[in-house]
Amino acid sequence: MAKIGRQKKKQIKVKKEKFIPQSLKGMRDILPEEGKYFDYFLEKLEKLAKIYGFEKIEIPILEEKSLFTRSIGQTTDIVEKEMFSFVDKGGREVALRPEGTAGVVRAYIENGMQNLPQPVKLYYFGPMFRYEKPQAGRERQFHQFGLEVLGAAGPIVDVQLILLCWNFFQEIKLQTELQINCLGCPDCQKEYRRRLLEFFRYKKRLLCPNCRIRLEKSPLRIFDCKEKKCQEISSTAPSIVDCLCEACKNHFIKVLENLDELEIPYNLNSRLVRGLDYYTKTVFEFWPSRIGLSDEEKSRFSLAGGGRYDNLVKILGGPVTPAAGVAFGLERITEEFKNQNLKLPKERRNIVFLAQIGETAKKKALHLFENLVKAKIDIKEALAKDSLKAQLELANKIGAKLVLILGQDEVAHKTIIIKDMRTGIQEVVNVDKIVEEIKKRL
């Protein structure tokens, strides 16, 4: 018996190989359930963005690879090992965007937006790609909503961006904490680099191998190290804030003063450096705030991050243009929203369900449905179902407030039954007056 079974199995296998479609590593579907969260956040974000004078921009998902290597920085991890890049049929080196700012800046330059009244304020939303090993809070495809302000240098811009984030998180009632730091301008960074190297001159051997490399390539990133030893050593290292030039110092002070004025709590974090090279002066992140989370975890699940990038437009070939921006991670915000036990506001919908029995009624119902849609009634149907019981079950499940029942008799008498699902009371009304009757009852 078993032998036959096996032979049979093998025959089937030979006949057709099993093809099971599967999504790529680190990429997943956003089902309606999660989409509801996205919609909720996006609606709030877009509304806020518009209030602050931002306009929507759509930029390509695919760009020349060099756009990212030049903007984000050759030695950053994003570029070194996380780029989703390949050669296209025309032999071009292209990459799926790992973040939004580079593309927006490219668009700004390419479309001559420096000729528009400054600053240019843009927002975008879409998928970003990083070729990483997936983990909680880290996927190969994820979604960001971002804001960029191009052509404005004042600290007030930085503050406004932070304020917008603050307002957003307040509005969705998410507990967050603002981390802020100032990275200075290239001059400050040069000076800081010099001082850091001096500081680490005799301590270099105590650092982990990784940090020794960092010291050469981008010393700032030593502060990112999770090694206890390195943290210990770097905790006594000079802080960037001490090396700021007058201009940068003033800028930072103004930002902080404004935050104080607005009563936005913040945490001065001299270890906050961010993973992209283009940042200057102000950088900030919003971390989830929840008991039981260590700072390390909080930083790993950073919900939004941004800062000033005064040199990026220039680096990418445009005119000298000060700018700043911020991006929100939708997946992470959704995740944290659930972790903090927050609930989506209940949809206050007045669903009306149209049920029908029999062929003639079905035909009529098809027509009636269209009219009700035009009358702006939140109408649902299940014309594909025949049994009234099944239709009522569905109506109940989706939370319909009223059910319209159309059958043989009703069609003949040009009437229709309105059933109130709460009370169970039903009335027969004239089908021509249905819209008014529904509105009366909602």
Partner RNA sequence: GUGACCGUGGUGUAGCAGUUAGCACAGGAGUCUGUGGAACUCUUAGCACGGGUGCAAAUCCCGUCGGUCACCCCA
- Scan residues 83-112 and list those touching RNA (CB under 7 A): 99
CB 300: neighbour CB atoms within 10 A? 17
Interface mask toward RNA for 139-178; x: CB under 7 A: x--x-x----------------------------------
Choose which of 177, 191, 227, 437 interacts with RNA (CB under 7 A). Answer: 227
CA-CA distance, 410 to 388, in Å (whole number)?
Answer: 14
Residue 294 engages RNA in binding (rule: CB under 7 A): no
* Side-by-side strand order, sheet with 379-381: 379-381, 352-356, 402-406, 415-420, 426-430
Choose which of 36, 44, 300, 314 interacts with RNA (CB under 7 A). Answer: 300
**How many residues belong to the chain?**
442
Least Å distance, CB 185 to RNA, is 20
The Cα-based distances of 306 to 180, 321, 337 in angstroms read 10, 17, 20
Interface mask toward RNA for 267-286; x: CB under 7 A: ------xxxx--------x-
Count residues near RNA (CB under 7 A). Answer: 81
CA-CA distance, 369 to 360, in Å (whole number)?
Answer: 14
Closer to RNA at the Cβ: 143 or 251?
Answer: 143
CA-CA distance, 46 to 27, in Å (whole number)?
Answer: 25
| CB-CB contact of 356 with 416 (8 Å) | no
Choose which of 87, 390, 398, 442 interacts with RNA (CB under 7 A). Answer: 390
Closer to RNA at the Cβ: 115 or 135?
Answer: 135
- Scan residues 392-411 and list those touching RNA (CB under 7 A): 392-397, 405, 407-410
Closer to RNA at the Cβ: 228 or 376?
Answer: 228
* Side-by-side strand order, sheet with 93-96: 62-64, 93-96, 84-87
Residue 325 engages RNA in binding (rule: CB under 7 A): no
Closer to RNA at the Cβ: 239 or 334?
Answer: 334
Tokens 């984030």 -> residue: 165
- Scan residues 10-49 and list those touching RNA (CB under 7 A): 13, 17-18, 20, 22, 24-28
Strands 415-420 and 62-64: unpaired
Closer to RNA at the Cβ: 144 or 160?
Answer: 144
